[in-house]
């Protein structure tokens, strides 16, 4: 698909918008005031593929902690602010690369202006975040409930406010836990603005439900060429957000690189623990810098044929395993050596 070309916005050492790749974000779930734990988590997320990180700033102590966190990390840090404009200013003074605010929650226009003035001074981008759960009462009444149209009107109202204050280094984020409402809102918003969009399905849920909702919502939005940076919001370890985001982008053809693991469903012919084997393969290949497809098959009957679209595959059963290359049996090995043999082949891979 052809991506909508949006305005370029620099966030620390990264750029979104324009022809730049869609970047993956996540958010720490540590206490930001706990510098050591926060830095450790950010480093793990960075190693997994996170490209922008957001940290909650609920206290002045958290705002000041950003200075020390920034010294230890490599990716841009976004300060997440609710209500208190002084925290937004303090976060920027302590090195935040970008702030996330909902101007409607900051208070008076004078307070919003103070935040904008500090952002302008440091040439720092502002992410305007609007959530369906906090939609203004007048817009709920106008549209007879929470609607995509109301979410977009709310976002554009905040955008115009900051534009009137003389600033346009903006990123827009509109989110809803209602997947189809969120998709519709992004379709409407993309027609009304050229600012880069941060895309995600908020409050999407636990690992299973959250991944399904995010894959559907982000898939429908991104496949229309809409979106410049994404976050998969999951209840749990943020490392899972990065894994899911990378897979969504790769599935849509928006990112290449990394080994893609495919596996067959289990059936009555399966004589190995296929679920465990597939999970072990996914974990094993995570650190191997190849752009190929690996198939994990449950039996030797259909395994070679079903794996023919993969570059390499394995199939197992009855104590014996097969290594398969492009649909043809390459080697037979004892089942307990199957993973080690596969890893060795990948580490020495050549077409």
Return the CATH number at 306.
3.30.413.10
Q: Which residue range is the domain that position 300 belongs to? A: 260-347
Number of folded domains in the chain? 2
By the 10 Å C-beta count (0-12 exposed, 13-18 middle, 19+ buried), 86 is classed as middle
Return the CATH number at 85.
3.20.20.20
Shared domain for 179 and 289, answered yes or no, is no
| 8 Å CB contact between 24 and 229 | yes
Residue 74 belongs to some domain of the structure: yes
Residue 2 belongs to some domain of the structure: no
**Mean predicted lDDT score pLDDT of the chain:** 88
Shared domain for 272 and 236, answered yes or no, is no
What is the per-residue burial (b if ≥16 Cβ within 10 Å, else e) of 103-113? bbbbeeeebbb
- What is the average pLDDT across 188-217? 90
CA 174 to chain centroid: 15
pTM of the shown model = 0.85
* Partner residues linked to 14 by β-bridges: 11
Share above pLDDT 70 across residues of the chain, in percent, rounded to a whole number: 93
Radius of gyration over every alpha carbon of the chain, rounded to an integer in angstroms: 23
Which SS3 state, helix, strand or coil, does residue 194 take?
coil
| Residue ending a domain, choose from 251, 272, 304 | 251
| Residue ending a domain, choose from 205, 222, 251 | 251
Closest C-alpha among 101, 114, 119 to residue 173: 101
Residue 204 belongs to some domain of the structure: yes
Q: What number of residues does the chain have?
A: 351
| 8 Å CB contact between 310 and 294 | yes
- What is the average pLDDT across 31-39? 97
Two tokens at 89? Answer: 């200013």
Quick check: 150 pLDDT over 80? yes
């Amino acid at each position: 698909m052809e991506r909508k070309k949006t305005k370029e916005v620099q966030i620390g050492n990264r750029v979104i918008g324009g022809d730049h790749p869609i970047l993956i974000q996540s958010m720490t779930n540590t206490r930001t005031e706990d510098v050591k734990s926060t830095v450790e988590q950010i480093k793990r997320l960075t190693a997994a593929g996170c490209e922008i990180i957001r940290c909650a700033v609920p206290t002045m102590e958290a705002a000041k902690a950003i200075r020390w966190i920034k010294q230890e990390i490599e990716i841009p840090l976004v300060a997440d602010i609710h209500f208190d404009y002084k925290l937004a200013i303090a976060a920027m003074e302590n090195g935040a690369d970008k702030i996330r605010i909902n101007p409607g929650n900051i208070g008076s226009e004078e307070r919003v202006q103070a935040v904008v003035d500090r952002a302008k001074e440091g040439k720092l981008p502002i992410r305007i975040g609007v959530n369906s759960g906090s939609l203004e009462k007048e817009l709920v009444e106008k549209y007879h409930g929470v609607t995509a149209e109301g979410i977009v009107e709310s976002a554009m109202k905040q955008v115009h406010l900051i534009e009137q204050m003389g600033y346009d280094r903006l990123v827009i984020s509109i989110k809803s836990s209602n997947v189809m409402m969120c998709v519709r809102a992004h379709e409407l918003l993309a027609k009304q603005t050229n600012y880069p969009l941060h895309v995600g399905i908020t409050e999407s849920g636990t690992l299973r439900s959250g991944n399904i909702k995010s894959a559907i919502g982000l898939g429908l939005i991104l496949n229309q060429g809409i979106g410049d940076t994404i976050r998969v919001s999951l209840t749990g370890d943020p490392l899972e957000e990065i894994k899911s985001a990378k897979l969504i982008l790769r599935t849509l053809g928006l990112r290449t690189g990394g080994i893609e693991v495919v596996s067959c469903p289990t059936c009555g012919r399966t004589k190995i623990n296929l679920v465990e084997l597939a999970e072990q393969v996914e974990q094993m290949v995570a650190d191997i810098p190849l752009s190929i497809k690996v198939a994990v098959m449950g039996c030797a009957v259909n395994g070679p044929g079903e794996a023919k679209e993969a570059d390499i595959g394995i199939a197992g059963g009855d104590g014996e395993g097969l290594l398969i290359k492009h649909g043809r049996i390459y080697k037979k090995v004892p089942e307990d050596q199957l993973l080690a043999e596969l890893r060795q082949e990948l580490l020495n891979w050549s077409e």
